[in-house]
Chain A
């Protein structure tokens, strides 16, 4: 019993270190394979490192996305590069991810143009507005406006004299903050509740009229396209493209 109590923490620390070693080993192997242009091997090792890593890493996502871009697997490339940008690593990662993502999306467009498949990558005003509303800045702004209003309410109770002296200034600011609080609060809530996105994996993926392979193919969408998830059925997801087209895609063709 005593041995277990004493050895437990030691074993825990050892396993963490061992896990870290395995991740680093896979990551290093992937980097070496990438350096000599063995991109398939690099992808395998990066994926291994990713599966072993407990928390997501912007660096790993960037490297993995880049490796996928080299193997022309554009769906996973777009997915991992977007993840790298979302995780916001260091400047080098951000810069590289932005660049490689633009290359990957250009290739997706190119491939879609050739194959006649549809592509859903270009952000419309709605997507941009949603992204802006989901941003931290808007979140903080709405919270600060709310904090001001809450402070105003407290002052009114505790020190009504202050409110009487600075009535016009405080009330003007209060009206502005109330407008900000309400408008940003409502719109940001809507934006946060918007349909989640997924990236289409594979090439020229069929989008069907219903959830099942027996349904007719409505159109094809090129791998690397970003689609909005609307509804789900066992093994299938109803997706919406940026141009408004909707259809069902097998879950296996989506990177969520």
Chain B
């Protein structure tokens, strides 16, 4: 007890906590040859630690290539309860490239003072697809791959190109994946002068992959998969794939800061030979097409199994599988007794997955049932050569029974009854139908003895007339507005109108005064009114309603001649005197007075 207590209380050697590893991958499943980014985070507590843990120990798995990309470090410090603690996090990024299919458990650890600490969680990486060959296989055991690794001579160069194939030996028509890789270990501008030549191969272009970083021969290389194709050899023998040519201009720096370094040089890719075997003659079916190489399945389905005599059905034959399906020769399609068939409508889809080419080819054959009864579609066989097993195989569709009912007796229903869905018609059938409806559907020709003339209803409203009319409307509007504006502008002003009115009134009064010269009737009154009005107008608005002396003063102040003012005053006085009988005048005197007034009014422009 005491010992235990002593042990419990005795001072221990300060020991740092174990580092913690966290492994992250950007994806768990990948195609063979494609890189996966792995991030290893090593978190360690700095307390009591004499030295930091080492770099991650990556798994050394056959078929898995590891390339280091980058690393980073961060440190965090915490102050809590008077204690300072710090933690260091180091992050390492790697590219893992599987070179053969399989499941790769990524057991990653770090060396912590002589002890290997593993990540608690083991991440697995699944690689799918065909085994890769070539330089990248140096770490991998790729049994199926026969591609050559870059030779030491090649690896001594700064830039080189090579063809990598997944097979060095194949049968005629068998798919071979070929990739043209450009390797570089220096910064350079690389231009492709000539692509590899795939003579004697039927080639299907694949999407070129992304550039990879590889550590080979003690050096870091950047590998560009420039061209990737699936090749189908068209003849047997040793076929050659040309190596292509590059122009390399070494440079230093990147982007805008890139500068040429040394002279440009040409790099020629080394051609690759592939041995193509002829298809075996043994067990080869009669009339076998050399294009039928691959692995295929044939199936058939019909759109209906119960139809009336004369009706059509569509049988869809589907061939699916991997291989060069586009050139696959399916042979003749069966035509069961009691039916007639038309040339098939064909559709084809192709896709590439895991370096293999898959396709689905459909043949839609239109059959028209000529006879009633049960008609059996016989099984259809396709022969193909399977390279994997090096054997000839057969795929057979199921046989299908179709029930054909006798045609309805009513002949009038024949036109509608025999019409298959339009989408399923083949050309002869469409023409046949067209012939059928010639008699019934089309309205007959007129068949007149002479052609009627002049009955065509030609519309008066032609486009030109309509446009003219539409343009006329704004024209009329503008013209009307212009006229209105002009009229407004030309109309006399209120002042002018008033002046005219006054002038007219003055003339009337003058005429009346003239008339009264001889008889004296209302002569003075009229003349007085005339002179008074003229004087007021001459004096202006301020003279309105004023007494005579003021009126005369105003006239003077307006600049009227004194003689005129005196005449006004005298005339008005004389008129007043005469009106009140103070002084009777003779006609001659009235005439003189009138002349004087007339002369005054003219000088004032009242008349």
Q: What 1/0 mask marks residues of chain A from 43 to 65 whose CB sits below 8 Å from any chain B CB?
A: 00000010001011111101100
Contacts of A90 on B, CB cut-off 8 Å?
455
In-complex Cβ contact of B450 among A24, A70, A116 (8 A): A24
Q: How far is the CA of A111 from the CA of B426 in the complex (A)?
A: 8
Any chain B CB within 8 A of the CB of A103? Answer: yes
Q: How far is the CA of A220 from the CA of B444 in the complex (A)?
A: 32
Assembled-state Cα–Cα distance A107/B456 (Å): 29
Contact assessment for B446 and A63 in the assembled complex, using a CB-CB cutoff below 8 Å: yes
* Most A-side CB within 10 Å, residue of B426, B448, B466, B484: B466
Task: Identify B448's interface contact among A27, A107, A113, A149, CB under 8 A.
Answer: A27
B438 close to A (CB within 8 Å): yes
Q: Is the CB of A146 within 8 A of B422?
A: no
The stretch from A135-143, A194-202, A248-256 touching chain B is A135-143
Q: Scoring B residues 506 to 549 as 1 if CB is less than 8 Å from chain A, else 0, what string do you get? A: 00000000000000000000000000000000000000000000
A residues 198-212 touching B (CB-CB < 8 Å): none
Counting CB contacts under 8 A, is B17 at the interface? Answer: no
* With contact pairs A139-B466, A154-B476 given, residues A103 and B441 touching in the complex (Cβ less than 8 Å): yes
Contact between B430 and A192 (Cβ–Cβ < 8 Å)?
no
In the bound complex, what is the Cα–Cα distance between A89 and B452 (angstroms)?
10
Interface residue ranges of B484-507 to A (CB < 8 Å) = 484, 487
Partner of B480, one of A35, A89, A153: A153
Is B425's CB under 8 angstroms from A113's CB?
Answer: yes
Task: For the complex formed, measure the closest distance between the CB of B68 and the CB atoms of chain A, giving whole angstroms.
Answer: 48
**Interface presence of B256 (CB below 8 A):** no
B350 to chain A, nearest CB (A): 18
Q: Given the interface contacts A110-B422, A156-B480, does A31 sit within 8 Å of B447 by beta carbon?
A: yes
Task: Judge whether A236 is part of the interface by a CB distance below 8 angstroms.
Answer: no
Q: Is B477 a contact of A143 with CB atoms below 8 Å? A: no
Q: With a CB–CB cut-off of 8 A, which chain A residues contact B429?
A: 114
Also in contact, A31 and B442, with CB within 8 A (given A157-B480, A157-B483, A157-B487): no
Residue of A nearest to B476 (CB): A150
Q: Which residues of A contact B480 (CB under 8 A)?
A: 150, 153-154, 156-157
With a CB–CB cut-off of 8 A, which chain B residues contact A142?
Answer: 466, 470
CB distance from B339 to the nearest CB of A (A): 18
- The answer to whether B466 and A143 have CB atoms under 8 Å apart is yes
Q: Which of A81-135 contact B (CB under 8 A)?
A: 87-90, 92-93, 95-96, 99-100, 103, 107, 109-111, 113-116
**In the complex, what residues of B have CB within 8 A of residue A230's CB?**
none
Q: Is A226 an interface residue (CB 8 A)?
A: no
A42 within 8 A of B: yes
* Cβ contacts B434-459/A at 8 Å (1 or 0 each): 10011001111111111111011101
Contacts of B442 in A (CB 8 A): 66, 69-70, 99-100, 103
A66-B451 contact given A72-B434, A110-B430, CB 8 Å threshold: no
Q: Does B431 contact A (CB under 8 A)?
A: yes
Query: With the chains together, A53 CA to B450 CA distance in Å?
Result: 12
Of the candidates B431, B453, B457, B463, the one whose C-beta lies within 8 Å of that of A72 is: B431
Q: How far is the CA of A69 from the CA of B448 in the complex (A)?
A: 19
* CB of A78 closer than 8 Å to a CB of B: no
- Measured CA separation A34–B345 after assembly (Å): 36
Q: Cα distance A147–B467 when bound, in Å?
A: 13
Given contacts A57-B453, A140-B461, contact A34 B443 (CB under 8 A): no
The answer to whether the Cβ of B472 comes within 8 Å of any Cβ in the partner chain is yes
Chain B residues whose C-beta falls within 8 Å of the C-beta of A107 in the assembled complex:
430, 434
Q: Decide if B466 touches A24 in the complex (CB within 8 Å).
A: no
- Complex interface: chain A residues within 8 A of B456 (CB): 55-58, 87-89
B481 within 8 A of A: yes
- Are the CB atoms of A28 and B476 closer together than 8 Å? no
Is B286 an interface residue when CB atoms closer than 8 A count as contact?
Answer: no
A67 nearest CB across to chain B (Å): 7
> CA separation between A55 and B337, bound complex, in Å?
57
Judge whether B451 and A60 touch: CB under 8 Å: yes
**Residues 460-474 (chain B) with a chain A CB within 8 angstroms:** 461, 463, 466-467, 469-470, 472-473
CA distance A237 to B271 in the complex (A): 48
- Does B423 sit within 8 A of A, measured CB to CB? yes
Shortest CB–CB separation between residue A55 and chain B, in angstroms?
A: 7
Contact B427–A27 (Cβ < 8 Å)? no
| CA–CA, A35 and B447, complex, Å | 7
| Cβ–Cβ < 8 Å partners of B446 in chain A | 31, 59, 62-63, 92-93, 96
Beta-carbon contact of B461 and A153 below 8 Å: no
How far apart are the CA atoms of A248 and B487 in the complex, in Å?
Answer: 60
Kindly state the separation between the CA atoms of A150 and B407 in the bound complex, as whole angstroms. 71
Q: How far is the CA of A96 from the CA of B445 in the complex (A)?
A: 8
Residues of A within 8 A of B447 (CB): 31, 34-35
* Given known contacts A57-B452, A89-B456, A149-B477, A111 and B461 CB-to-CB distance under 8 angstroms: no
Chain A residues whose CB sits within 8 angstroms of the CB of B274 once the complex forms: none
Interface membership of B227, Cβ < 8 A: no
The answer to whether the Cβ of A247 comes within 8 Å of any Cβ in the partner chain is no
B448, A59: Cβ atoms closer than 8 Å:
yes
Q: What residues on B are CB-neighbors of A157 within 8 Å?
A: 480-481, 483-484, 487
**Nearest residue, chain A, Cβ from B427:** A114
The contact of B443 among A57, A100, A110, by CB within 8 Å, is: A100
Q: Does B155 contact A (CB under 8 A)?
A: no
Is B445 touching A31 in the complex (CB atoms < 8 A)? yes
By beta carbon, the residue of chain B nearest A150 is B476
What is the minimal beta-carbon distance from A88 to any residue of chain B, in angstroms? 5
B-chain residues with CB within 8 Å of residue A114 when the two chains form the complex: 345, 425-427, 429-430
B277 contacts partner chain A, Cβ-Cβ < 8 Å: no
B433 interface residue (CB < 8 Å to A): yes
Which residues of B sit under 8 angstroms from A140, Cβ to Cβ?
461
**How far, in angstroms, from A42 to B446 measured CA to CA in the complex?**
12
Residues on the A chain within 8 Å of B450, using CB: 24, 27-28
Q: Is the CB of B459 within 8 A of A111?
A: no
Chain B minimum-CB-distance residue to A160: B484
Given A55-B456, A57-B452, A139-B461, A116–B345 Cβ distance below 8 Å?
A: yes
Question: A96–B430 contact, CB under 8 A?
Answer: no
Among A59, A87, A153, which residue has its beta carbon within 8 angstroms of that of B451? A59
- Asked whether A181 and B459 contact (CB < 8 A) given A154-B480, A157-B487, the answer is no
Given known pairs A70-B442, A96-B443, the reply for A150 and B449 (CB within 8 Å) is no
Cβ-based interface call for A23 (8 A): yes
Once bound together, how far apart are the Cα atoms of A35 and B476, in whole Å? 58
- Tell me the bound Cα distance from A143 to B430 in angstroms: 49
Known: A110-B434, A143-B469. A66 touches B445 (CB 8 A): yes
Contacts of B448 in A (CB 8 A): 27, 31, 59
Contacts of B473 in A (CB 8 A): 146-147, 149-150, 181
Kindly report which residue of chain A lies nearest to residue B463, judged by CB atoms: A192
The docked-state distance in angstroms from the alpha carbon of A72 to that of B435 is 8
Answer yes or no: A76 CB below 8 A from chain B CBs: no
List the 4 closest pairs (A to B, CB-CB), nearest first.
A146-B473, A96-B443, A153-B480, A150-B476
Q: Can you show 5 pairs from A to B with CB atoms below 8 A apart? A: A24-B450, A62-B445, A96-B446, A103-B442, A157-B487
7 A-B pairs besides A28-B450, A143-B466, A146-B473 with CB distance below 8 A are A30-B445, A58-B456, A63-B445, A72-B434, A110-B422, A111-B427, A115-B427
